């Protein structure tokens, strides 16, 4: 799923567009015991509760594709009889009315979800009548092409409010605040099936993680039946290792800067596309060649890529290159440069020492104070 498709589903979580048929929930305490279960027709809930749930569901489909939201395909083994795909399909097709399936789902989550405190598992079923589109891309709401039937799971921490004092209007007094348990925003969740090309794709799930570096591997592998992907930070570390091991002794500043600039240009060219830019092994090889990696070092590229990342691994450009800053660090100095002006920094050998030289055409400030040039002139 891309950003546009995710937003289309998010828009259904409003009173006017609501396609949710049923909501189920299970409150789990810190000892992994089920304390409460909910089974309701969604529209039978009080209006104020519906609005709170809408916020939770929208956040479960929020964030950046490739960081907070990850498309995960089922391995072939999970699409066979007894696999995770079949279980999730049964759960969806039951419209959450099969109590045995629900209990089995809750048990799987509780067994594999790594969280030491209380949390609330929310599961909804929905039928979205996908509007047709005219030749110019306008939605035709009276001409539905298909129905997208899906389940969405949100896992929310349940936290005790802080102790404190509060004002009691009835008694007109200040007294100890009543502490209660509050359902917080979701930290993990998933959508099944995928909504690709505006239709159902039963070959994968869209996984959500509020913290991109905390992916819950056991949950992904045992509940969703997928393979835990590289995190955003993991992709960056992998890419940096490919650069370092490919270049070896030829890992010079200019080459690394060129690699950064080449990928930044690709991101800029791709910015209007709905799909995030992913780089395959072949794409990375072309980037290296264009950036001036010596030919003798390119001869080891494929071996290094396969050993470090795996031959079929694709890296999200937004995860491996920061398009908002270009950072240069030594043990004692950190220099942050506008990525568009990385050319202002170069390396030179001065008096036998390797130096970073920064061209200054505008003003210089030190701790907010405008300073003067070597000639004593104020830089304006």
The pLDDT tens digits for 218-248 are 999 999 999 888 888 899 999 999 999 999 8
Backbone phi, psi, residue 211, to 5°: -105, 110
Given this model, what pLDDT does residue 47 score? Answer: 93
Domain ranges for the chain, please list them: 3-229, 233-320, 326-370
Given this model, what pLDDT does residue 94 score? Answer: 97
CB burial string 11-42: b at 16+ within 10 A, e below: ebbeeeeebbbbbbbbbbeeeeeeeeeeeeeb
Confidence of residue 379 (pLDDT cuts 50, 70, 90): very low
Q: Which residues contact 211 (CB under 8 A, 6 or more apart)?
A: 187
Higher pLDDT, 40 or 322: 40
Question: Alpha-carbon distance 131 to 139, whole Å?
Answer: 6
The pLDDT tens digits for 319-356 are 888 877 788 888 888 888 887 777 788 888 888 888 88
**What average pLDDT does the chain have?**
89
Question: Alpha-carbon distance 219 to 207, whole Å?
Answer: 11
Are 317 and 345 spatial neighbours (Cβ–Cβ below 8 Å)?
no
Are 192 and 201 spatial neighbours (Cβ–Cβ below 8 Å)?
no
Q: Which residues contact 120 (CB under 8 A, 6 or more apart)?
A: 25, 26, 27, 28, 155, 156, 157, 158, 183
Are 277 and 268 spatial neighbours (Cβ–Cβ below 8 Å)?
no
Q: Could you give the angle at the alpha carbon of 66 between the alpha carbons of 62 and 72, nearest 5°? A: 95
Does residue 140 have a pLDDT over 80? no
Given this model, what pLDDT does residue 380 score? Answer: 42
Backbone phi, psi, residue 212, to 5°: -60, -25
């Amino acid at each position: 799923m891309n950003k546009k498709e995710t937003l289309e589903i998010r828009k259904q979580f409003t009173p006017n567009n609501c396609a949710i048929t049923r909501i189920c929930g299970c409150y789990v305490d810190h000892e992994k015991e089920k304390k409460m279960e909910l089974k309701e027709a969604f529209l039978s809930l009080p209006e104020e509760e519906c609005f709170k749930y809408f916020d939770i569901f929208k956040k479960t489909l929020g964030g950046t594709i490739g960081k907070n939201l990850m498309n995960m395909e089922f391995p072939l083994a999970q699409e066979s009889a007894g696999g995770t795909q079949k279980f999730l399909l049964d759960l969806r097709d039951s419209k959450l009315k099969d109590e045995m399936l629900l209990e089995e789902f809750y048990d799987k989550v509780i067994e594999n979800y790594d969280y030491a405190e209380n949390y609330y598992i929310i599961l909804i079923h929905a039928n979205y009548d996908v509007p047709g589109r005219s030749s110019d891309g306008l939605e035709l709401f009276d001409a539905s092409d298909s129905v997208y039937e899906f389940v969405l799971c949100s896992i929310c921490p349940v936290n005790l409010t802080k102790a404190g004092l509060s004002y009691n209007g009835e008694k007109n007094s200040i007294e100890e605040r009543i502490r209660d348990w509050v359902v917080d925003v979701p930290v993990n969740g998933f959508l099944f099936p995928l909504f690709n090309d505006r239709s159902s794709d039963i070959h994968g799930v869209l996984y959500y993680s509020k913290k991109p570096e905390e992916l819950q591997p056991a949950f992904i592998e045992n509940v969703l039946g997928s393979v835990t992907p590289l995190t955003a930070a993991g992709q960056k570390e992998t890419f940096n290792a490919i650069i370092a091991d490919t270049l070896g002794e030829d890992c010079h500043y200019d080459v690394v800067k060129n690699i950064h600039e080449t990928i930044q240009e690709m991101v800029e060219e791709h910015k209007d596309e709905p799909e995030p830019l992913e780089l395959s092994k072949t794409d990375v090889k072309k980037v290296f060649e264009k950036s001036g990696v010596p030919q003798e070092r390119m001869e080891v590229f494929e071996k290094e890529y396969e050993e470090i990342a795996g031959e079929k691994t694709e890296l999200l450009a937004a995860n491996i290159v920061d398009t908002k800053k270009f950072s240069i660090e030594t043990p004692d100095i950190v220099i942050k440069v506008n990525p568009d002006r990385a050319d202002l920094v170069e390396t030179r050998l001065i008096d036998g020492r390797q130096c970073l030289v920064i061209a200054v055409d505008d003003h210089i400030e030190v701790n907010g104070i405008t300073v003067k040039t070597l000639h004593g002139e104020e830089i304006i």
